[in-house]
Amino acid sequence: MFFELSEAHKEFQKRVQRICEREVSPLVEEYERKKEFPLPLYRTFGAERLLCLRCPKEYDGPGLDKVSECVCMEELNRICAGIGAGFMVHGGLATDPILRFGSESLKQTYLPRAVRGEKIGAFALTEPDAGSDAASIRTIASKDKDGYRLNGSKTFITNGTICDFVTVAAYTDPGKRGIGINLFVVNREDEGFSVIKKLRKLGNHTSDTAELAFDGCYVPRERMIGEREGGGLEQLEETLKSGRITYGARSTGVGQATFDATLSYVKQARRHGEPLKRSQAIRFLLAEMATSVEVMRYTTYRGAWLFDQGIATMKDASMVKLFCSESVQKIVQKAMAIQKAAGLLMENPIQRFLRDARLFKIPEGTSEVHHLVIARELGL
C-alpha cells in the first residue's frame, strides 16, 4: 500500500522545486499579463529531462513512473497552473497515445523531440458540440489513397496555437458510435490544418488554448495510431485515466499554493487592532484547508501508485479527479473569505488561484460526468 513518497521521489521533488522556483516563478507575472506561454521553458525543461516523464530511455525519456509525474505536476501547478497545463498536455495527452499504442516509426519520429522540448504537442478531442462524451465527436477521417482526409473542428485545445503536432480523434466509421474512432497525428504544416483563433479565458492565462480546423487535412496511413480502424475509444480511455489522476496533482498544487499564501497573510494581518491569527474562526478555516490539502495529496498519490502497479480502474481515476478538483474549490473559497477585499486585488495571487482552480472541474470529464462514472462502477 502506498503511504508516502520514497526517498528517490523526495529527492526528485526537491529538484523539481528548485527548478520551478528558479526557471518558472520569475516568469509568471509577465506571462500572465501577456496571456502567453513562455515558450523557452520547453527547451529548458527538456534539458532538465522534465518533459514526458514516463517516456522510456529508448526514446530519450527519463523513464520515470506516474508518481514522479504527479510530483512534477504538483510543483509546477503550485507555481503556475497555466504553465502546468501546457506541460501536462504535451507530456501526457499528446504523446501518451503515441507511446502506448503507436508504431515504432511514430515513436521514433515524435517522442525524442517531444522529450527534448524541440517539438510541442497538443491533443484534440473536444468539439463545439462534444465535450466529456467522446463518442459524440463529429470529425471524420475518410479514406483517401494511402491515408485519410480529416474534416471537422476542435475547440478548447491546449497548446493549440503553439503546437508542432496534434493528436486528433476522428471517426473512420461514423456508423459505429464510439468504437469507430481512431487517433491520428497531424503536423502543423499539413495542408488543411489551421488554427481558427486563440481563445480568451477567465483563468489559466499562460495556457495557450485554441480552436482548430481540419479542412480536407490529409494524413498518411502511417500516422494513424494503432494497426486497425477502430479502437481509438479504448486508447482514449486509457489516456484519460492517466490524465484524470494528473488533475489530482494539479489541484493539490494550487491548493497548497493557496494555503501557503493564506497562512502567510494571516500571520501578518491585523483586524480590529488584533492579530488575525488569534481569531479562532480563522484558525479553524486554516486547519480545514491544511487537512484538505493533505487528503488531496494522499488521494492523488494513491491513485498514481495504483496506476504504476497496473491496477488503477477508471473509478479510481474518476475519484481522484472528482475529489481533488472539488476540494480545491472549497480551499480557494475559504482563502477568499479570510482575505476578503484583499483577495480581489490583482497583485494578490489568491484571485489567480481562484480563477485557475475553477477550470479543474471541467477538462478530463466534468465533475458531473465523474459522478456518473463512479456510480456506474458501483453498479448503479
Question: What does the block give as the cell for 355?
Answer: 480563477
E strands, 266-335, in order: 270-271, 274-275
CA angle 221, 226, 230 (to 5 degrees): 90
- In which element (H, E) is residue 262 found? helix 232-268
Give the separation between CA 203 and CA 351, rounded to whole angstroms: 10
Give the separation between CA 17 and CA 163, rounded to whole angstroms: 26
- Looking at the DSSP bridge assignments, the partners of residue 181 are 171
E strands, the chain, in order: 121-124, 140-144, 147-158, 165-171, 181-187, 193-198, 209-220, 224-225, 270-271, 274-275
Q: Of 191, 364, 368, 377, which is the active-site residue?
A: 364
E strands, 179-293, in order: 181-187, 193-198, 209-220, 224-225, 270-271, 274-275
Give the separation between CA 131 and CA 129, rounded to whole angstroms: 7
Return phi, psi of residue 155, to 5°.
-140, 165
Give the separation between CA 130 and CA 223, rounded to whole angstroms: 24
Give the separation between CA 37 and CA 205, rounded to whole angstroms: 8
Q: Is 74 a catalytic residue?
A: no
- Asked if 254 and 357 touch (Cβ cutoff 8 Å), the reply is yes
Grid-cell match 495510431, residue found: 225
- Asked if 31 and 97 touch (Cβ cutoff 8 Å), the reply is no
* Cα dihedral 130/230/242/41 (nearest 10): -80
User: Three-state SS for 248?
Assistant: helix
Question: What does the block give as the cell for 230?
Answer: 477502430
- Residues identified as active-site: 364
